[in-house]
Amino acid sequence: MGTESRVAGTIRAAVERLEPPPRAVDWSLFAFVTMEVVTGLVSFTVGVPEGWPLFWLHRALGMGIVALLAWKLARVRRRLTDPGQWRRSTALSVLTLVAVLGTLSTGVVWVFGLDVRISYWTLLSVHVGFGLALLPLVGAHAATRFRLPRRVDFERRRTAVRYTVLLAAGAATYRLQQDVNDLLDTAGADRRFTGSQPREGAGNGAFPITSWVADDPDPIDREEYRLRVDGLVSDPVELSADEVAAGHETEALLDCTSGWYTVQDWQGIRVGDLLEAAGGTAAEDASREPAYVRFTSVTGYRWSLPLAEAEDALLATHVGGERLSHGHGAPARLVARDRRGFQWVKWVTRVEVRAEYDLGQWVVTLVSGFD
Ligand SMILES: Nc1nc2c(c(=O)[nH]1)N[C@H]1C(S)=C(S)[C@@H](COP(=O)(O)O)O[C@H]1N2
Ligand SMILES: [Mo]
């Protein structure tokens, strides 16, 4: 036996030892997919570098699914290729497989910096769509072939070692991919910890206009525009566009969950100064203390920030020295440092100091703009 085949033999033996029992493979796939959906969704809310482990976990789990899926397909191949073994549930299995392959391939291709646009969806949004469809599919698929896992499938020490190696190999693969991307100098080479790629330049034209499904208002007339500042403040006020354009300046990074980021100089009014213009915050009574500031768009789209964070945020009227364009949220949009792009409310018409956390914002941002 030559050295090469000996190396190959060693690797094959290692991979075989790593392979969990069939039932464990099935349950692991279910668990991994569930964890992918959770880590993927939660990652959308993370904008600070300390959150990096979440993104790495998502990548490692994804590579783990590749290995688990390979083991699984090697085992059940015949059920798909041999018409004699087709059942009613086979259609569901095939659909689930398509969704898995769709999720994995869009994820991998996107990591390599390719962005095939499907109408106005980025590849990353397609990845998210496949991923969300996958969870109910895998659930239904598991239900048609339900078998409880047994103790021996998850024998403690081996299981721990197995999954640690699996995830470490996944992370190592991602790391290797970074080197390959650097070497080939692909568009995937230059990324933030969130996976987002840079959009260079200054001002309105330097970065894309990104709005949710139906959030597409008519341009707002500057002369008629009024910004209402109310809620738990002493003297609610309405300000004109010129009054909001106070010239306070700050540099901040906008990182959109569709996979790009940009660093811009933003000018406008500090929200703390805005609240001062309304006489400062004021508790209604002991049980309703000012705690959050809610920013609401003309479309109804809205987001809240904790009071202290909000005071330091900016309501921007200008970007890169230019007056904000309509698409970027004119006359005024929120600039919320360390928050993901979807929280940077555009076309803000109301700033409201509140006592309660706004749970409804999670739904409203998804459906605002629909009649
Ligand atoms: N009212 C409103 N604000 C919004 C959005 C929206 O759909 N409606 N999209 C958000 C998203 S997802 C992002 S990434 C940023 C994008 O800002 P931009 O269009 O100026 O690039 O705006 C955010 N603010
Ligand atoms: Mo976004």
pLDDT tens digits, residue range 10-37? 888 888 888 998 889 999 999 999 999 9
pLDDT at residue 371 in the model: 62
Q: Which two tokens stand for residue 129?
A: 């769509």
Kindly report the average pLDDT of the chain as a whole number: 92
Ligand 2 centroid vs 305 CA: distance in angstroms?
Answer: 17
Query: What percent of the chain clears pLDDT 90, i.e. is strictly above it?
Result: 74
CB-based pocket (< 6 A), ligand 1: 207-212, 215, 256, 297, 299, 301, 328-329, 341-342, 344-347
- Closest ligand 1 atom, CA of 329? 20
What are the tens digits of pLDDT across the range 57-71?
Answer: 999 999 999 999 999
d(C-alpha 343, C-alpha 365), whole Å: 9
Q: Which fold has domain 199-367?
A: Sulfite Oxidase; Chain A, domain 2 (3.90.420)
Contact 316, 333 (CB under 8 A): yes
Report the b/e string of 35-61 with b at 16+ CB within 10 A.
ebbebbeebeebbeeeeeebbbbbbbb
How does pLDDT run across 209-221, given as a tens digit for each residue? 998 767 889 999 9
H or E stretch at 260: strand 260-270
Cα–ligand 1 centroid distance for 331 (angstroms): 14
**Atom 6 of ligand 1: nearest residue by CA position:** 211
Q: Which of 196, 264, 342, 365 to mutate to test the pocket of ligand 1 (most atoms within 8 A of CB)?
A: 342
Q: Measured in angstroms, how far is the CA atom of residue 52 from the centroid of ligand 2? A: 19
- Nearest protein CA to atom 24 of ligand 1, as residue: 345
Q: Which of 180, 40, 23 is nearest to 124 (CA)?
A: 40
Query: Residue of the nearest CA to atom 12 in ligand 1?
Result: 342
pLDDT per residue over 71-125, tens digit each?
A: 999 999 999 999 999 988 899 999 999 999 999 999 999 988 887 777 777 889 8
CA distance 369 to 212: 9
Q: Is the pTM of this model over 0.75?
A: yes
Res 188 pLDDT > 90 = no
Q: For residue 193, which amino acid is it? A: F
Say what the pLDDT of residue 11 is.
Answer: 83
CA of 346 to the centre of ligand 2 (A): 11
> Could you identify the atom of ligand 1 that is nearest to the CA of residue 207?
21
Q: Going by CA atoms, what residue is nearest to atom 11 of ligand 1?
A: 342
- Most informative mutation of 256, 343, 349 for ligand 1 (most atoms within 8 A of CB): 256
Which residues of the chain are in CATH 3.90.420.10 domains? 199-367
Q: For 250-270, what is each residue's pLDDT tens digit?
A: 999 999 998 999 999 999 999
Are residues 123 and 116 in contact, defined by beta-carbon separation less than 8 angstroms? yes
Nearest to 29 by CA among 86, 70, 59: 70
pLDDT of residue 285: 85
Of 151-155, 160-164, 331-335, 353-357, the range with the lowest mean pLDDT is: 151-155
